[in-house]
Amino acid sequence: MQFFIDTANIDEIRTASTWGIIDGVTTNPSLIAREGRNLGETIREITTLIDGPISAEVQEAPAEAMVKEAFSFAQIHPNIIIKVPMTFEGIKATKTLSAHGIKTNVTLVFSVPQALMAAKAGATYVSPFIGRIDDFTASERAGSDLVQDIRIAFDNYGIETKIIAASIRHTQHVTQAALAGADVATIPFRVLLDMIEHPLTTKGLAIFRDAAKK
């Protein structure tokens, strides 16, 4: 499973890039707004830090306007992936962008039929939001169940659209995404930090450190 970092914070991306295990970056309007910087400028800087897919989201609008904005983002760098909302206008935009060889990530996916429609439009990626589904339902596995169902549906038909498990809240979501067959997990920086930790690793290191002193 590929690891993308889900942030628009340059310091977080710079730190994570030094680990050598981050395959790409996803941003969204909320993450960009949090940084208080211009989207184009932020995306341009991210391309200097990570050599992999970098999602930049177009504003919800009629398809023609989204396509126009997408073309301007796509010119920034060949690694740019256009994030498109899961609406009929988004589907139309995805179809047009796909015909022009521009890669897309259809976002705000909450069902298998939505994922199938996005794939049919030629989406490179679909992003089911597992954390928001778990927030919305009593089950702690509803989000990863959706990823698993999309995996089965895509595999049934040889659909090559990749599944990004998004809206990850904690390390257990990363485990669930991997077991459900997600191609990618896009992970907030604080969850990436948590992923390296285990109390028995910490304890084991302390034991080895003591032994080494002797």
Binding site for ligand G3P (CB under 6 A): 6, 26, 28, 30, 127, 129, 131-132, 166-167, 186
Whether 9 contacts 45, CB under 8 Å: no
Q: Pick the closer one to ligand G3P by CB: 22 or 96.
A: 22
HEC secondary structure over the chain: CEEEEECCCHHHHHHHHHHCCCCEEECCHHHHHHHCCCHHHHHHHHHCCCCCCEEEECCCCCHHHHHHHHHHHHCCCCCEEEEEECCHHHHHHHHHHHHCCCCEEEEEECCHHHHHHHHHCCCCEEEEEHHHHHHHCCCCCHHHHHHHHHHHHHHHCCCCCEEEEECCCCHHHHHHHHHHCCCEEEECHHHHHHHCCCHHHHHHHHHHHHHHHC
Nearest approach in angstroms of CB 40 to ligand G3P is 19
Rounded-to-integer distance, Cα 171 and Cα 173, Å:
5
Establish whether 83 is a catalytic residue. yes
Nearest approach in angstroms of CB 145 to ligand G3P is 17
Q: Pick the closer one to ligand G3P by CB: 131 or 181.
A: 131
Q: Pick the closer one to ligand G3P by CB: 28 or 96.
A: 28
Choose, from 83, 103, 213, 214, the residue flagged as catalytic.
83
Q: Pick the closer one to ligand G3P by CB: 81 or 102.
A: 81
Nearest approach in angstroms of CB 214 to ligand G3P is 47
Active site residues: 83
